[in-house]
Structure 1
Amino acid sequence: MMMVMFFMLMMIPLSFLSLSWLLSQFCYLFLYMTVLLSGYSLFFSSVSYSYGMDSFSYNLILLGVLISSYMVISMQGSFNMNMYMIINLSLGFFLFIIFSSLSFLYMYISFEFVLVPLVILMLGWGYQPERLMAGLYLFFYTVLVSLPLLILILYIYNKSGSMFFDYLKYSSKFSLIHFVLVFVFMVKLPMFLVHFWLPKAHVQAPVSGSMILAGLMLKIGGYGLIRIMYMYEYMFMQYSYIWYSLSLVGSVLVGIVCLMQGDIKCLIAYSSVSHMGMVIMGLMTMSSWGLMGSYLLMLGHGFCSSGLFYMANLFYMRTGSRSFFINKGLMTYMPSCSMIWFIYCSFNMSCPPSVNFISEVMILSSMLSYWVNSFIFFIGTSFMCACFSYYLYSYSQHGLHHNLYSFSTLNLMEFLCLFMHLFPLLVYSIIIMSLF
């Protein structure tokens, strides 16, 4: 693990070279193969200096390396590329520490530090002046709820004498401890009612900022919930109905809100809130199928949502707007994108044989075991998800485009990035179906 961390630190001098983006792709490929071949056959593999991997962090680290590579492709040719590479490496480094740390304190410190390069990315490469307010929303939503967690971490260390996850097992009945632990990660997911920062951050961030937000930043919340679930199992069983109920109703309401959006990126951002609500429902059931379904949904959503944001940016670069009222008739304007956009929208609405479909079936079975009437809300969530995914595809692809000129404008690099978002989704689907 330390080897990987030092490798990422030594990549920073490459950022000052003229072809830094090309060299970084080779380095990310090498890094991906290093992590991929390290495996997770042991409970904690590659343990070194309080860092290691298990089956939960393994795929998220691989996802982080891939999304970092896609970010470089998406911003190729933008201004101040050397500084952007440093920001990209910093984000990848802190995310790697979050997913590989065995200590709660290390995870918390990286959880806070990852905000700094993300806010710099949003303020430096964003589009509108409103990005200043979006950065404040993102920063204060996360910092204000995570400060009580620092006090709680010190309290836990004082009680147990250790910060390692495998040593922290408690049966406390103090509800404030549960609220402080869970609420931090619920804001990061984000849960319905504390999701207001996400659409603002997505709309104002550059395409790479949206990709890292959808692909990885939301997964920190789910990963944190999985970790603390093993610490306070009794309290989760006692209070999980609160978070479960909020997400149950919130997922349906957010699906309705999606249909009222006039901005493509805003709709995709709200769809992320709806999907993360299903992740919360799966985790709060405290069942093995719910846990695995939520984990797979996080992985599938990481690739699918990142690809949707990248493709929405391709439309924005060609038409100069993200509005549905201008992005019409793209099937005649950009025919080469229509099929890929359809596949992404289908995966977003969890059509078989995607990872999202398999994960939602697993979540549904766990929800029925938790409360049998959950299927009513699940049907509503799935129906609204299908509605806004169909709306996203049909409203943008059909209709009459304003200049009535048909041509294919994507270059090879953009097709490569779109395909590399789809390829892991298909591989994961094949692997999971073979297991069943």
Structure 2
Amino acid sequence: MSLLLFGVFGLLLISLFCPFSIVWGLVIFFSCFVLFFSLFLFGSEIFIYNSLFYVLGIDFVSISLIVLSCWLLPLTLLASQGHMAFYSINSQRIYCVLLILVLISLVITFSSLELSLFYISFEATLIPILLIISRWGSQYDRYQASIYFVFYTLFGSLPFLVSLLIINNFLGSLFFPICSYFFIFENFINNFSSLWWVFTFLIFVVKMPVYGFHLWLPKAHVEATVAGSMLLAAVLLKLGGYGLIRLLNLFNFVNINLNFFIVCFCLWGSLVTGIICFCQSDLKSLIAYSSVGHMSLVAGGVFFGLNSSINGSMILMISHGLVSSGLFCLANVLYERSGTRTLGLMRGYKCLMGLMAFWWLVSCAANLGLPPLPNLIGELIIISSFGFFDFSFIIISGGSVIVSAIYSLLIYQLTQSNKLINNFSNVLEVSSREHLLLFSHLIPLFLLIVNPNLLFICF
């Protein structure tokens, strides 16, 4: 764990002080080394509070998300090289620094053992992404998207900060094991638990986001750069799911009727969001709403509280992170060649870019949950867990999965089939860098088919 942290901070120094002529190559090269070090976390004996200085620690929940974060960094750098070439030297260097700062905040968040550090690093991810959207966004509406992003984040985080202050006043500590002990065994905290549950629920469902708290996400995705969209979809949305899983054991005694209501709300939101996808004309907006639908299903699985449903949510989070990031990369490839994200104008590209049609087919198939990809495994585990309680849950969640399959096929049909528009007949060939980028998104999915145990949580 310490080696990984030193590597990430070393990467930050390289991006700041190395000569500009080699900054992109060196940062990408050493980010691959950081990824290599993170993979060793899977091979170590991990316990839930195997900690570094009693502040940072890792377990099976955090390892998968840390590796996913490290995996995405070199991919975001590769994806950004094309459009960042038109900016100044200092602008490109700052851009690399911001991406690395996001990784540092994510690693600290996923390995934090104290609620105050968790909150600080959780909110620290906001600043680099906000700068990426507002400075390097594609249109003037990026400022409105930034305002939405900040407002929704503060709306969810301030109640959580108040609850942390009250807990610290009661217990004198925000260390995870101490909070777990007192919330389970002390009577005085029971009067406060339901209110704190609502406050905690709010910050994480805004970050995921669950339907009803999602308005910031489509705007942020549409206006963000390709790296910003990749990080938002692949990792930052998973902060909400991670927070729910991490703090779930604090709410064992909360009224079960409240959990039932929240699960119903999440599943209903997943179905409604899938239907909204059919109304989208912007490709990035469609993919963003698809993320809302999948993360609403993840939230329903976590709030349901069974070990199997949480395992399914974890699998779906990791696989969705890879697939959605790949879809945003594909959307960016078409946008750089056509200059538009309108689905009515992006069609017939398999006539010009045959191999790119293959990447679209595999990505859309993974998004709809084609067997035996891990997306389907996670969805089936979540849906089967609902059968222990109420069959209506299975009907609603199954309907949302069917709807997601339909709009995933619709994405492929609209972008690859039909007649090519004459104005877009002369387009650049897809580069080896872009093929490598898309291959790197999909190869982990096939590796997880071979060994899916890497994503199962041990409680």
Asked whether the two chains share a fold, i.e. TM above 0.5, the reply is yes
RMSD of Structure 2 on Structure 1 (CA): 1.8
Q: Tell me how far 1:434 sits from its aligned partner.
A: 11
Q: Which amino acid aligns with 2:38?
A: V
2:28 paired residue number:
25
Q: Which moved more, 1:197-206 or 1:241-250?
A: 241-250
1:429 paired residue number:
449
Is residue 75–residue 207 contact of structure 1 (8 Å, CA) maintained in 2? yes
Is residue 269–residue 293 contact of structure 2 (8 Å, CA) maintained in 1? yes
Query: What SS does the corresponding residue of 2:52 show, helix, strand or coil?
Result: strand
Segments of structure 1 that go 5 or more residues without pairing to the other structure are: none
Instruction: Name the CA distance, whole Å, in 2 between partners of 1:162 and 1:237.
Output: 28
Taking a change above 3 Å as real, the CA distance of residues 377 and 294 of structure 1, as seen in their structure-2 partners, is: same
The partner residue of 1:37 within 36, 40, 44 is 40
Deviation digits for residues 145-175 of structure 1, max 9, x if unmatched?
2111111111112222221222222152543
Is residue 334–residue 408 contact of structure 1 (8 Å, CA) maintained in 2? no
Q: Tell me how far 1:193 sits from its aligned partner.
A: 0.5
2:369 paired residue number:
350
2:75 paired residue number:
70
2:168 paired residue number:
157
1:141 paired residue number:
152
Query: What SS does the corresponding residue of 1:52 show, helix, strand or coil?
Result: strand
Taking a change above 3 Å as real, the CA distance of residues 12 and 435 of structure 1, as seen in their structure-2 partners, is: closer
Instruction: Name the CA distance, whole Å, in 2 between partners of 1:159 and 1:29.
Output: 44
Taking a change above 3 Å as real, the CA distance of residues 327 and 411 of structure 1, as seen in their structure-2 partners, is: same
Q: Tell me how far 1:21 sits from its aligned partner.
A: 1.7
Q: Tell me how far 1:116 sits from its aligned partner.
A: 0.6
Q: Which amino acid aligns with 1:30?
A: F
Taking a change above 3 Å as real, the CA distance of residues 147 and 300 of structure 1, as seen in their structure-2 partners, is: same
Instruction: Name the CA distance, whole Å, in 1 between partners of 2:63 and 2:255.
Output: 25
TM-score for the superposition, normalised by structure 1: 0.96
2:187 paired residue number:
none
Instruction: Name the CA distance, whole Å, in 2 between partners of 1:119 and 1:71.
Output: 16
Deviation digits for residues 216-264 of structure 1, max 9, x if unmatched?
0100000000111012221274521121111111111111100010011
Is residue 312–residue 382 contact of structure 2 (8 Å, CA) maintained in 1? yes
Instruction: Name the CA distance, whole Å, in 1 between partners of 2:455 and 2:174.
Output: 35
Query: What SS does the corresponding residue of 2:57 show, helix, strand or coil?
Result: strand
1:87 paired residue number:
98
Is residue 264–residue 323 contact of structure 1 (8 Å, CA) maintained in 2? yes
1:414 maps to 2:434 = yes
1:9 paired residue number:
9
Matches within 5 A, 1:1-400: 1-16=1-16, 17-18=19-20, 19-39=22-42, 40-43=44-47, 44-45=49-50, 47-77=52-82, 78=84, 79=87, 80-169=91-180, 170-171=183-184, 172-174=190-192, 175-235=194-254, 237-400=256-419
Q: Tell me how far 1:28 sits from its aligned partner.
A: 1.6
Instruction: Name the CA distance, whole Å, in 2 between partners of 1:59 and 1:215.
Output: 12
Q: Tell me how far 1:406 sits from its aligned partner.
A: 7.6
Segments of structure 2 that go 5 or more residues without pairing to the other structure are: 185-189
Is residue 332–residue 406 contact of structure 1 (8 Å, CA) maintained in 2? no
Is residue 383–residue 398 contact of structure 2 (8 Å, CA) maintained in 1? no
Instruction: Name the CA distance, whole Å, in 2 between partners of 1:360 and 1:380.
Output: 12
Instruction: Name the CA distance, whole Å, in 2 between partners of 1:236 and 1:201.
Output: 35
Deviation digits for residues 50-99 of structure 1, max 9, x if unmatched?
11110000010000011111110011141232111111111111111100
Deviation digits for residues 246-286 of structure 1, max 9, x if unmatched?
11111111111000100110000000011011101111111
Instruction: Name the CA distance, whole Å, in 2 between partners of 1:46 and 1:336.
Output: 46
Instruction: Name the CA distance, whole Å, in 1 between partners of 2:268 and 2:233.
Output: 22
Q: Tell me how far 1:22 sits from its aligned partner.
A: 1.3
Is residue 173–residue 235 contact of structure 1 (8 Å, CA) maintained in 2? no
Is residue 203–residue 266 contact of structure 1 (8 Å, CA) maintained in 2? yes
Instruction: Name the CA distance, whole Å, in 2 between partners of 1:114 and 1:122.
Output: 13
Is residue 2–residue 51 contact of structure 1 (8 Å, CA) maintained in 2? no
Q: Which moved more, 1:294-303 or 1:401-410?
A: 401-410
Q: Which moved more, 1:316-325 or 1:174-183?
A: 174-183
Q: Which amino acid aligns with 1:212?
A: L
Query: What SS does the corresponding residue of 2:451 show, helix, strand or coil?
Result: helix
Q: Tell me how far 1:104 sits from its aligned partner.
A: 0.8
Percent sequence identity is 35
Report how many residues are paired: 436
Instruction: Name the CA distance, whole Å, in 2 between partners of 1:366 and 1:213.
Output: 28
Is residue 374–residue 445 contact of structure 2 (8 Å, CA) maintained in 1? yes
Taking a change above 3 Å as real, the CA distance of residues 270 and 383 of structure 1, as seen in their structure-2 partners, is: same
Q: Tell me how far 1:35 sits from its aligned partner.
A: 2.2
Instruction: Name the CA distance, whole Å, in 2 between partners of 1:318 and 1:245.
Output: 42
